[in-house]
């Protein structure tokens, strides 16, 4: 059996080595404390994120219910009964639609101007 005095081992350190060891231990403790702060911050942010996700989920669910009720209450329209439906069925993107709408508007204004000029010519020829 070993006695208590036999199990204790002493190591002689130079003062610089002892100071370096204490600095290393204090640095390790500081790093551990910083990690603990980071983990606490992460946990609080994660909890806030989960609360916000739950809130968003309920709002989306409410919105979905409102949209379903609105769909039920609004009158149903057949798409082929919409005016100028045939003109827009083959459009691949919105820029083409805008271009066609602008050209239609300019064509309509040109047509109106032509009709106005023809009317004035008829009046002058009388």
Claim to verify: residue 96 and residue 54 sit in the same structural domain: no
- Please give the Cα distance from 40 to 5 (Å, whole number): 44
In terms of residue numbers, what domain contains 40?
A: 13-75
Is the pLDDT assigned to residue 114 strictly greater than 90? no
Claim to verify: residue 97 and residue 71 sit in the same structural domain: no
- Please give the Cα distance from 122 to 126 (Å, whole number): 6
Claim to verify: residue 47 and residue 19 sit in the same structural domain: yes
The pLDDT value given to residue 51:
96
| CA distance readout (Å), 23 to 13, 29, 33, 63, 112 | 14, 10, 15, 59, 90
The pLDDT value given to residue 83:
59
Residue 102 forms part of a structural domain:
yes
- Please give the Cα distance from 104 to 94 (Å, whole number): 15
pLDDT tens, position by position, 19-44: 899 999 999 999 999 999 999 999 99
Number of domains into which the chain is organized: 2
User: If pLDDT is split at 50, 70 and 90, which confidence band does 100 have?
Assistant: low
């Amino acid at each position: 059996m070993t006695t208590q005095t036999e199990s204790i081992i002493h190591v002689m350190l130079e003062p610089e080595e002892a100071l370096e060891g204490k600095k290393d231990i204090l640095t390790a403790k500081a790093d551990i404390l910083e990690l603990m702060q980071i983990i606490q911050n992460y946990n609080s942010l994660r909890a806030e994120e989960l609360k916000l996700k739950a809130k968003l989920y309920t709002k989306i669910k409410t919105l979905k219910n409102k949209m379903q009720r609105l769909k039920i209450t609004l009158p149903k329209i057949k798409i082929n009964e919409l005016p100028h439906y045939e003109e827009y069925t083959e459009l691949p993107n919105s820029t083409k639609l805008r271009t066609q709408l602008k050209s239609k508007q300019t064509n309509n204004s040109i047509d109106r101007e032509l009709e106005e000029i023809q009317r004035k010519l008829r009046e002058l020829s009388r």
